[in-house]
Structure 1
């Protein structure tokens, strides 16, 4: 086994759409001291919203050039084309990087990514410090791994030939199966009884003794999940997942598209239209930046199921293209034309 002491440690942060991975990393950037960091952000879609959020942190030990966005698809499907070049780029940086954080897309399976750390060109230089699964406590308290599961459940019930869990549940279970630590977000929004219910939902899927840490507003001391030193790549074959017998996997159960909309007059009106879309269509998540007429600040919008959050994150810069652009992620067959008509109204 290659000694991990001479290799750069990487923390892999996985989790379903809207669970709070980016918020967790934003908090970590502001609280990890004494280490020069680099981040790989894997977007599902063409717009790097999560990367933009992290870049806006302005942290000295993780400058903007140290944040690499991979938008060509799920990282576990593109390890050779995207992940390895990104690692090469990071390891060539000066000053040298002390730790790498990897935020996977919501649909990524951790195991194929971790297995790439066994490749000779990678194994000699980097190691997996730990795999962190971020889960949505609010949804789990209601018995779901994401907010809008009704359409998937109906689909499953209507197909009598199905003899396995729906795809979203399988992705969730595979992420949990590979985790060294589970961070349960939105704990501050739960009653003690609901918090216990959410933790029980996770525990039911844990194949090993793995700690579950509660998080409020993404705040978790980085010392809890950084510096675990587990060299996970050496143990990944022992972490059994639904896809162990498959050569590869596809995400045919999901669609995503990018939507440009005009500047809006009212944030609350847009928020309501987004809520209407997620209620009427098979939409799992909407995120992006929007221009509000007469406002010098750009509006950050994030929606998971019917919950819509929006706030002004920073001022538009001089010469910046004030484009209002949203990424829509949903089940296969979502009606992009209808969604565009509603959101661009």
Structure 2
């Protein structure tokens, strides 16, 4: 089967809170006549991103074309989850013109690329491109890219120090695998922050990469769809920290779901989340909040100590008005009792 008959797939990767769901929501609304399908891979048991995207469904990307996998990393569950999901999309009538895959914020894209060589699907789909999102403000602050010179100086003084952290490895692997990097939240970083973030990305990239600044996921789809990269045939040019390993683990990170009843004060809850992130080194918080006296459900998203909330839709008749929050942190930093205490549970 020729490449012209293969359904193109775009992999959207990026660290926690970098704006992947916002980008895909924008692509759904601006598909340029393409019939889209979306696969969302969540880290944790409470699906938030999938429901957000289903709320954006339109005739060219109906709700049944948006599938959610919350059973673990799709590149680790190829036979059980990824391949059957892709096969179900390819069996649709009409068949999607383009498939978008939103990886979890903790995913390594290269093992997923290898999954496209699976015999049952490799003749029917191709990786049109890998799009890596990088939070300009966070990258500029050095949260995911260590200071190599400083680390080398420390290593010279203490051989037991390992300069690689789980966060830096995830970030570097995502950049290394990309065809295009989207520098998100550019409006928050400022000119100096954007310049610093671009320098970090250039230093980590194994080859020159186009870097596009975006705000609120607004990018012309022609920039990132239709790249024709056939990335599954170009794996050797996309180095990873995990090259030589047959699989990878997510034991470096952990997640818990905190459930509350209705809350009296949404800004007060946001302040608690912000303080909890600072005190307990929380990476990400996302979920839904039931606010007393409000007919609308609130969506809360936090990246570190930066918290945003908005009312996204009315509560449905008969729907339980509960508050459910997913909290993600590095494995040795997750303290369920402390987290629940910080949120007033």
**Equivalent residues, number:** 337
Tell whether 2:119 aligns with 1:120: yes
Tell me what 1:132 maps to: 131
State the shift of 1:164 in Å: 4.3
Name the counterpart of 1:76.
Answer: 75
Return the alpha-carbon distance in structure 2 between the equivalents of residues 288 and 160 of structure 1.
Answer: 42
Deviations 1:127-150 (A, max 9, x none): 10000000000111212239xxxx
Gaps of 5+ in 2: 146-150
Could you tell me whether the CA contact under 8 Å between 1:14 and 1:105 is conserved in 2? yes
Query: 1:158-173 maps to which residues of 2 (within 5 A)?
Result: 161-173=160-172
State whether residues 298 and 316 of structure 1, in contact with CA within 8 Å, keep that contact through their aligned partners in structure 2. yes
Partner residue, 1:343: 343
Gaps of 5+ in 1: 147-152
Moved more, 12-21 or 249-258: 249-258
CA distance in 1, matches of 2:87, 2:344: 41
Partner Cα separation in structure 2 for residue 163 and residue 282 of structure 1: 20
User: How many Å apart are 1:160 and its aligned residue?
Assistant: 5.5
Asked whether the 8 Å contact 1:137–1:195 carries over to 2, the reply is yes
| CA distance in 2: counterparts of 1:107 and 1:160, whole angstroms | 28
Q: In 2, distance between residues paired with 1:344 and 1:62?
A: 40
Kindly indicate whether residue 312 of structure 2 is the aligned counterpart of residue 296 of structure 1: no
In the TM superposition, residue 88 of structure 1 has moved relative to its aligned partner by 1.0
2:252 pairs with 1:271: no
* Equivalent-residue separation in structure 1 for 2:141 and 2:169 (angstroms): 18
Q: Secondary structure at the match of 1:83?
A: helix
- Quote the Cα distance in structure 2 between the aligned partners of 1:297 and 1:344: 22
Aligned residues of 1:262 and 1:344 also touching (Cα < 8 A): no
1:149 maps to what in 2? none
Shift of the alpha carbon at 1:3? 2.5
**1:259 maps to 2:263:** no
1:135–1:145 CA contact under 8 A, matched in 2: no
CA distance in structure 2 between the aligned counterparts of 1:162 and 1:239, rounded to whole angstroms: 27
Task: Note if contact 2:202-2:208 (Cα within 8 Å) is conserved in structure 1.
Answer: no
Partner of 1:150: none
Q: Is the 8 A contact 1:116 1:122 kept in 2?
A: no
Distance 1:162 1:88 in 2: 46
Offset of residue 81 of structure 1: 1.6
Distance 2:196 2:254 in 1: 31
Aligned: 1:231 with 2:230? yes
In 1, are the aligned partners of 2:15 and 2:133 still within 8 Å (CA)? yes
Please give the per-residue CA displacement for 1:85-114, whole angstroms capped at 9, x wherever unaligned: 110111111221111000000111111111
Equivalent in the alignment of 2:202:
203
SS in 1 for 2:120: helix
SS at match of 2:127: strand
- After superposition, give the CA deviation of every residue in 1:69-90 in whole Å (9 maximum; x if it has no partner): 0001122222222110110111
Larger mean Cα displacement after TM superposition, 290-299 or 333-342: 333-342
Alpha-carbon distance, 1:342 to partner: 2.1
Q: How many angstroms apart in 2 are the aligned matches of 1:166 and 1:224?
A: 32
1:138-157 correspondence runs (5 A): 138-145=137-144
Which residue is 1:312 aligned to? 311
Whether the 8 Å contact between 1:298 and 1:313 is mirrored in structure 2 is yes
Runs of 4+ in structure 1 off by over 4 angstroms are: none
Distance, in Å, in 2 between the alignment partners of 1:76 and 1:95 is: 27
